[in-house]
Structures are given as structure tokens and as C-alpha cells.
Structure 1
Amino acid sequence: MAACAFIVIDSQLDRIRAENTVDIFGAVNRMRTQRNFMVQTEQQYAFLYEVMVEAVQLTGSEVSAHSLYNYVMKLRQTAPTSMVLMYLGDQIPRSGMKSNFPQNITALELEFQTAINGN
């Protein structure tokens, strides 16, 4: 599945950029004409759709290869209070804010929580 998934994902990301559409069904069918066992389960098929949904929803989150190391180092640092409030402000109750305020949370943790919670 791994090789097939990467091939389909790569081709569909290219298609999104070029045509603003996806065709996972068509891509899988074309691949299966050459290799019968490329996508074997419904779970694998669903995974491809989930990846495409995330790719479309997370536009503007790309980092250039040249900047990746510095970006990751920055994400590993403790997030400033202003960043925590920006990402989690609505999730922190107003009463007793100090006791509920996340301490020593990294920017990576904030970004991940935002991605999985759809904020």
C-alpha cells in the first residue's frame, strides 16, 4: 500500500495544483490496470481521500525546503503566550484562566492541536 499511496497522493496533489480537482477513483483504477493489488482495502481507499481533504484544508501551510530546518527548530521552542492565546484562546475558560492556561507548550504541539481540532 505504501508505494501506491504515495503515487496516488503525489499525482492528486499535482492535479489539485493544475486543475483544482481530484480523481482518486480514476487514479486508483489506472494504477490497478498495471498492478492488480495496489489498493486492496476500503480503509486504504478512505485514507487517500482523508489525505486529500487535509491537503485542501491546510493550504498556506507549506514551508520551503530551504527554510524547513529553521521552521522545525522554531516549532520545538516553547510557544509565547500570544501564540497560545491565538491558537487556543476560545478553548481556555475565562474564569480561572491562569490555572487552565497551558504551560510550556511548544509551537509544534499548538500547530498539531489546531490541525486535528480543525480550528
Structure 2
Amino acid sequence: MKKIVKRILASLTLGIVAISSAVAVNAASVSGSLNGYSVSGSLNNTSGNKAAATASTSYGGGTAAIYTEVTLEWGFGNRTGTARNSGSGDRNKVTATATASDYGSVFLSARGSHKVSAGSYFWSDTTSIG
């Protein structure tokens, strides 16, 4: 009887951890703006404990923007990683995916630089949960 109770309690505990982690992952987002530039990002639980992070930037007016670089940093448990747009194709968007085998703190950080004819402008915004 004691073994059965222990197994039930263990199953319930694991289930609660899984549910709370899934909810936490869906809560992360970043946003910011500087000199007409805007950035937004989100961290979503796509399936199981796989986290996908996406950030995009846009220039608010004119045609001064000639290059945009975005770097994403994410963490899930003890796994971290970075991704950067390659400069080819859509330079204003980068998508990164991280997979972790354990549960833990989640953070998403977006940093970028915007090079325009008048100079370079930099923005940075970070959010964390966990």
C-alpha cells in the first residue's frame, strides 16, 4: 500500500512540474524601440519541453535602414544558445529554437544594432521568468 501511494505522489509531482513549466515558457516576451526602430520577441512552448524563440525588427519611417542585425539568446534549464540572422534574405528577422531535457528557469534576451546612413543605433531589451 505504501509503494502504491508513493508512486501516485511521484506521478502527481512530475505532472505539476511539467504543467507549470509549460505555462511559464508561454509567458516570455520582449519589446523595445529606439529612434523609430521597434523589436518584439516571444518564447513559446511548441511541444513538450521544446522552446522556440523569435524576434523581429522594423524601421518606423523613411528608407534610412540599410542593415539590421538581431541576436537572440535563450535559456531553458541549463541549456543556453544564441542565433543570429545571416544577413541574407530577410535581414529584419531571426528565429532560434532550443530544446532542453530538463525543467528550470527560462529567459529570452534580444539585442540588435541598426546601421543607417546617419550612424549606428543600438537597442537592448531582456525579460526573464522561471
Superposition TM-score tier, normalisation by shorter sequence: under 0.3
Higher RCO (C-alpha under 8 Å, 6+ residues apart): 2
Q: Normalization by structure 1: what TM-score?
A: 0.26
Higher helix share: 1
Higher strand share: 2
